[in-house]
Chain A
Amino acid sequence: MFIVIGCMLAGIAVGYFFRQQKIRSIHKIILALIWLLLFLLGLEVGANETVVRQFAKLGFEAFLLAVGGTLGSIIAAWLLWLSVRNKSLSK
Chain B
Amino acid sequence: MKGSLIILSFFATGLLLGIFRLFPSDILQYNTSFYVLCALMFSVGISIGNDPNSFRQFRSLNPRLIFLPLMTILGTWLGVITVGFFLNDRSLADCLAVGSGFGYYSLSSILITQYKGVELGTIALLSNIMREIITLLFAPWMVKYFGKLAPISAGGATTMDTTFPVIVRNSGKEFAIISIYQGFIMDFSVPFLVTFFCSLK
Count of inter-chain pairs, beta carbons less than 8 A: 307
Given the complex, which residues of A lie within 8 Å of B86, measured CB to CB? 64
Q: Which of A50-91 contact B (CB under 8 A)?
A: 50-52, 54-55, 58-59, 61-85, 87, 89-91
Determine the main DSSP class of B at the interface with A.
helix
**Nearest Cβ in chain B — how far from A62, in angstroms?**
4
B43-57 interface code vs A (CB 8 A; 1 in, 0 out): 111111111100000
Interface size bucket, A side?
Answer: 35 or more
Among B6, B14, B48, B195, the residue within 8 A (CB) of A5 is B195
Q: Is B153 touching A77 in the complex (CB atoms < 8 A)?
A: yes
Contacts of A27 in B (CB 8 A): 47
Say yes or no: B109 contacts A41, CB within 8 Å: yes
Q: What band does the interface of chain B fall in when counting residues whose beta carbon is under 8 Å from A? A: 35 or more
Q: Which one of B47, B60, B106, B199 lies within 8 Å of A91 (CB-CB)?
A: B60
**A27 to B130 alpha-carbon distance, docked (Å):** 23
| A68 in contact with B80 given A8-B44, A37-B106, A52-B19 (CB within 8 Å) | yes
Shortest CB distance A23–B (Å): 5
Interface presence of B185 (CB below 8 A): no
On whether the beta carbons of A63 and B127 are closer than 8 Å, the reply is yes
Within the assembled complex, what's the spacing in Å between the Cα atoms of A59 and B43? 30
| Cβ contact of A73, chosen from B47, B111, B118, B154, cutoff 8 A | B154
Bound Cα distance A54, B110 (Å):
19
Q: Give the complex CA separation of A12 and B65 in angstroms.
A: 26
Q: Are A34 and B79 in contact (CB under 8 A)?
A: no
B83 pairs with A64, CB closer than 8 A: yes
Whether, in the assembled complex, B1 has its beta carbon less than 8 Å from a beta carbon of chain A, the answer is: no
Within 8 A of B (CB), among A1-51: 1-5, 7-19, 22-23, 26-27, 29-30, 33-48, 50-51
Q: Which 4 A-B pairs have the closest CB atoms?
A: A46-B18, A11-B45, A42-B14, A72-B79
